[in-house]
Amino acid sequence: DQQVKQNSPSLSVQEGRISILNCDYTNSMFDYFLWYKKYPAEGPTFLISISSIKDKNEDGRFTVFLNKSAKHLSLHIVPSQPGDSAVYFCAASDVGNQFYFGTGTSLTVIP
């Protein structure tokens, strides 16, 4: 029973363009959402998060949008850079602080 889903396993974007990674969830009790970035042979690295009381959080080139009614969040990276090429995981937690991860989207930024 996968409560957090990333339906696009891969995404390719030209350098300088916007990358949009999507994530859907099913549990309305989730109150905190996160994005992680993962390079091969390394552990995931925290990127950005958003609380359920907000609909947008921005950190430099990274912006996370949350649409609670649609149970959807997205990560925007603009402008995309070759170093952004990695696997991106979204995650959600409930009030019990249990975390659920999506299966990841592999982003390739083409120079």
Partner 1 sequence: DTAVSQTPKYLVTQMGNDKSIKCEQNLGHDTMYWYKQDSKKFLKIMFSYNNKELIINETVPNRFSPKSPDKAHLNLHINSLELGDSAVYFCASGRYEQYFGPGTRLTVT
Q: Which spans of this chain sit near partner 1 (rule: CB under 8 A)?
A: 2, 32, 34, 36, 41-46, 49, 87, 89, 93, 96-101, 103-104
- Shortest distance, position 32 Cβ to partner 1, whole Å: 6
- The number of CA neighbours under 13 Å toward the Cβ of 6 is 25
Whether the bond between 40 and the residue before it is cis, its omega within 30 degrees of 0, is no
| Closest CB 78 distance from partner 1, rounded Å | 22
Question: Alpha-carbon distance 108 to 8, whole Å?
Answer: 13
Residue with Cβ nearer partner 1 (13 or 87): 87
